[in-house]
Chains A and B, each alone.
Chain A
Amino acid sequence: MTAPYEPTHTPREEHLARKAAEPDVDPCDIALEAMPGYVIGDMAAADQAWIDSHAEQCNYCKNELQWFERIDDLLEHLGDASAGADIPTAPRLRVHKKVARYGSMPSPLGDLLIAVSDDGICEISFGRSGTDKFLALLDRRGFEAVADQQAIESASAQLREYFSGRRHVFDLQVDLTGVTPFTKAVLTATSEVPFGRLLTYRDIARSIGKPNATRAVGNALGRNPVPVIVPCHRVVRSDNSLGGYTGGLDIKERLLSIEGATLPVV
């Protein structure tokens, strides 16, 4: 991946567990006070762990934490909406949009539309959702789309190998321009799930340090611009149902059967 997610600063440890253990303190006050930092990603692991364990025992705080996660999720959506807005051109300001070269390839899942920028593969859509939708997605992320079948050759060669079972790991750069930090974090964590293995939305939420953000993780995976390459199909629900898939659940099933992955998650 070209854009690994890194926290913007080192979280400062607040020793919440110790503070909450003081006799004249209500642990709920400590937890509620810390929630904004928790959802925005400022919290040291030990403090996070304390809030999680407190929320496990306290329904009020658990609810409250989920509301905060939901607010963060809404802000995340607002970020996506403005990611690819057109930049106005003034006489003095020349605007260079980043070029995405795109083409299509046949696959067992139907045609795939693939776009590649100078920084890596930036968009994959299942042909059934249409070229217009694909081009609109590129536009929204701020790319200028240029038809160029040759440009996708190396990506499509690797995908062909994957579909025929001869490739388990992709050796491709991914360009996540225009993707918000939280979604990037989710996609980066998801790209670590190996071929044929399944994890749950909750596992991913835990691995990015936001154990309560299960729903937000699902939403972020729904915005995966490069399905198959970033294997969001390997993430399912903790109740062992498949969960969702933007391309259609039949595609998710098909991909998992190519990889020989079966529920339940172990």
Chain B
Amino acid sequence: MTDSATLMSFDTLVDMHQREIYRYALHLTRNQADADDLYQDTFLKAYKAFDRLDASANYRAWLYRIATNTFLSAKRKANRERPLDVAADGELAAVQEDQPASLDARDLLVEVERFIQTLPEKQRVALVLRKYQEFDYRQIGEVLKCSDEAARANVYEALRKLRACFGDRV
């Protein structure tokens, strides 16, 4: 380990990024219990791998990658355990056409929150990173291991789906 890596202690890393990583976990999972788990898992994995990390690494991006991969693999596992017919996502919420024509603001927020959970994971991750964590598309691409353009397409597709589902009721 070089000097600069020694300078950045794990505690410092936690202090610097715990708030934004927790907020990120909340946005991804949209529920406190899952966010707690994701947050803990992320820092636990980071702690175990910290000594092996290159001193010149971008620590923040590294944490986001760990959090994102942990989230994605937990989702994949959950999907495998669910029966096939409910595993199809994205289309689910769009089917709920028999909703009342308008909703009050609070109901609407709850519904948007629920709908975001049905988005394909990469779209959800990309939307959260762009909207709440102020990442640019290059950074999103790094976290999702895809091109800038694919990252951008994921964000736009998420917005289009939201609009298609809620546009006439908001």
How far, in Å, is A83 (CB) from chain B's closest CB?
Answer: 7
Find out whether the CB atom of A40 lies under 8 angstroms from the CB atom of B159.
Answer: yes
Residue B47 lies at the interface, judged by CB distance under 8 Å to chain A: yes
- Can you list, as one digit per residue, whether each of B34-55 has a CB less than 8 Å from chain A (1) or not (0)? 0110011001100100000000
Residue A174 lies at the interface, judged by CB distance under 8 Å to chain B: no
Query: Please, which residues of chain A bring their CB within 8 A of the CB of B76?
Result: none
How far, in Å, is B152 (CB) from chain A's closest CB?
Answer: 7
Find out whether the CB atom of B134 lies under 8 angstroms from the CB atom of A71.
Answer: no
How far, in Å, is A187 (CB) from chain B's closest CB?
Answer: 15
- Can you list, as one digit per residue, whether each of A1-32 has a CB less than 8 Å from chain B (1) or not (0)? 00000001100000000000000000000000
Find out whether the CB atom of B112 lies under 8 angstroms from the CB atom of A75.
Answer: yes
Find out whether the CB atom of A36 lies under 8 angstroms from the CB atom of B134.
Answer: no
Report Cα–Cα, A71/B108, bound state, in Å. 10
Find out whether the CB atom of B136 lies under 8 angstroms from the CB atom of A8.
Answer: yes
Contacting A at CB under 8 A, from B120-153, are: 127, 130-132, 134-138, 152
Residue B32 lies at the interface, judged by CB distance under 8 Å to chain A: yes
Find out whether the CB atom of B43 lies under 8 angstroms from the CB atom of A67.
Answer: no
Find out whether the CB atom of B170 lies under 8 angstroms from the CB atom of A71.
Answer: yes
Residue A181 lies at the interface, judged by CB distance under 8 Å to chain B: yes
- Assuming the contacts A180-B132, A181-B134, asked whether A83 and B23 have C-beta atoms less than 8 A apart, the reply is yes
Residue A142 lies at the interface, judged by CB distance under 8 Å to chain B: yes
Find out whether the CB atom of A71 lies under 8 angstroms from the CB atom of B19.
Answer: no
Nearest A residue to B21 by beta-carbon distance?
A87
Interface residues contributed by chain A, number (CB under 8 Å) = 34
Query: Please, which residues of chain A bring their CB within 8 A of the CB of B170?
Result: 67, 70-71, 74
Residue B3 lies at the interface, judged by CB distance under 8 Å to chain A: no
Find out whether the CB atom of B167 lies under 8 angstroms from the CB atom of A88.
Answer: no
* Other-chain residue from B22, B113, B155 in contact with A87 (beta carbon distance below 8 A): B22
How far, in Å, is B128 (CB) from chain A's closest CB?
Answer: 9
Find out whether the CB atom of A85 lies under 8 angstroms from the CB atom of B156.
Answer: no
Residue A94 lies at the interface, judged by CB distance under 8 Å to chain B: yes
Majority SS at the chain B contact face:
helix
Report Cα–Cα, A39/B170, bound state, in Å. 16
Report Cα–Cα, A39/B156, bound state, in Å. 10
Residue A92 lies at the interface, judged by CB distance under 8 Å to chain B: yes
- Can you list, as one digit per residue, whether each of A28-62 has a CB less than 8 Å from chain B (1) or not (0)? 00000001110110100000000000000000000
Report Cα–Cα, A71/B112, bound state, in Å. 9
Report Cα–Cα, A180/B131, bound state, in Å. 9
Query: Please, which residues of chain B bring their CB within 8 A of the CB of A77?
Result: 109
Query: Please, which residues of chain B bring their CB within 8 A of the CB of A142?
Result: 19
Find out whether the CB atom of A85 lies under 8 angstroms from the CB atom of B23.
Answer: yes
Partner-contacting stretch, out of B10-18, B79-87, B88-96: B10-18
Find out whether the CB atom of B109 lies under 8 angstroms from the CB atom of A74.
Answer: yes
How far, in Å, is B89 (CB) from chain A's closest CB?
Answer: 19
Find out whether the CB atom of A71 lies under 8 angstroms from the CB atom of B137.
Answer: no
- Assuming the contacts A71-B167, A87-B19, asked whether A82 and B112 have C-beta atoms less than 8 A apart, the reply is no
Query: Please, which residues of chain A bring their CB within 8 A of the CB of B160?
Result: 36
Query: Please, which residues of chain A bring their CB within 8 A of the CB of B112?
Result: 71, 74-75, 78
Query: Please, which residues of chain B bring their CB within 8 A of the CB of A35?
Result: 159, 163
Query: Please, which residues of chain A bring their CB within 8 A of the CB of B127?
Result: 75
Query: Please, which residues of chain A bring their CB within 8 A of the CB of B168?
Result: 67
Given contact pairs A36-B160, A71-B167, a sample of 7 additional A-B residue pairs in the complex whose CB atoms are under 8 Å apart: A8-B134, A8-B136, A36-B163, A39-B159, A78-B109, A82-B27, A85-B35
